[in-house]
Structure 1
Amino acid sequence: MAFTTRFQSFVCEGDSLTCEVAGFEIIARIVRDDCPDAPDERQEGFWPSLYIDAPGFIGPGNNFRERFAQAQARAEAVMEAWRKDEWFYCGIVLSVALEGILLDDHAASLWGIEANYPDSDNAYLTDVANELLPEALDAGRAILARLTASAAALGDGASP
């Protein structure tokens, strides 16, 4: 049970994947994360550091100044790309339907994921969708069970 197609190497909000499992149609879609925080506000250690107690410590060893300069340039490039909206944070949101009827538009999700991150192929987005698939199926089954129980109760009460 998995999505057999993958998200593209460049994605937009609203892009989606679909799969069918046990009669349920599961749709994984990309939704832009509405948290406005910049990458350096979200990720501890985003900026490299030469200080051992700092979260961005690059580690001791040969060429530490060169490694620091490379890490600094990389962090600056990532921040600039984010400012230009070349990449964004998103959520992967799964919905579940049965026979064309939407059971849950938000059956499972994970937020704060980088989409179109520099030098990324977005493969992680599909991995997340596959990891959320069992949760979405459980939600679909639970809703179907409630609907079935409600229909049975209505059926029992409708007898003359």
Structure 2
Amino acid sequence: MTFIERFQTFVCQGDSIDTEVEGYLITARIVRDDCPDAPDERQNGFWPSLYQDAPGFIGAGNGWRARFDAAQARAEEVMRAWRADEWFYCGIVLSVSLEGVILDAHAVSLWGVEVNYPGSDNSYLTEVASELLPEALDVGRTSVARMCSALIGGETRQ
């Protein structure tokens, strides 16, 4: 069970993909994360380090200087692109509907996902959505069961 439709290589807030499973329509959409923390504040070890006990340690051995310089340049490019709003963090939010009725607009989500990250094709956005799909389907099934139970329970009380 996966999304056949894929997110584009460049996406914007609000972009979405759909799939149908067992008659349920599952929609995965991009919602901008409202946490203002920069990448180096979110990720321990974002900046490369030459110190063995520090997060971001690049490792010892031959070529350590070249590895460090490459890691430093990459981190600086990622920060530059983030400051220029070329990429952002988002939530992948799945909703579930059946026969045109929205059962849950926010059935399941994963937050802090990088969107349009430098050098990325965004393919992992679809992978994340597909990983969340079974849980969203369970939410849909539970919603339908609860509604059916309420209807049947309402009829027996009359």
Which residue of structure 1 aligns with residue 14 of structure 2? 14
Which residue of structure 2 aligns with residue 129 of structure 1? 129
Q: Aligned to 1:110, what secondary structure does the other structure show?
A: strand
Deviation of 1:39 (Å):
0.1
Which residue of structure 2 aligns with residue 152 of structure 1? 152
Q: Matched residues in 1 for 2:5 and 2:98: separation?
A: 20
Which residue of structure 2 aligns with residue 81 of structure 1? 81
* RMSD over equivalenced CA pairs, Å: 0.7
Q: Does 1:41 align with 2:41?
A: yes
Name structure 1 gaps, 5 residues minimum. Answer: none
Q: Aligned to 2:106, what secondary structure does the other structure show?
A: strand
Q: Show structure 1 runs of 4+ deviating over 3 A.
A: none
Q: Matched residues in 2 for 1:5 and 1:102: separation?
A: 20
Which residue of structure 1 aligns with residue 95 of structure 2? 95
Which residue of structure 2 aligns with residue 32 of structure 1? 32
How many residues in Structure 1 have an aligned counterpart in Structure 2? 158
- The answer to which of 8-17 and 149-158 deviates more is 149-158
Deviation of 1:115 (Å):
0.3
Cα deviation 1:103-140 (Å, max 9, x = unaligned): 00010100000000000000110000000000000000
Q: Aligned to 1:5, what secondary structure does the other structure show?
A: coil
Which residue of structure 2 aligns with residue 141 of structure 1? 141
Deviation of 1:157 (Å):
2.4
Cα deviation 1:74-122 (Å, max 9, x = unaligned): 1011001000000000010000000000000010100000000000000
Which residue of structure 2 aligns with residue 54 of structure 1? 54
Deviation of 1:5 (Å):
1.1
Q: Aligned to 2:131, what secondary structure does the other structure show?
A: helix
State TM-score, norm by structure 2: 0.98
State TM-score, norm by structure 1: 0.97
Deviation of 1:65 (Å):
1.1
Q: Matched residues in 2 for 1:12 and 1:83: separation?
A: 17
Name structure 2 gaps, 5 residues minimum. Answer: none
Q: Matched residues in 2 for 1:21 and 1:12: separation?
A: 25
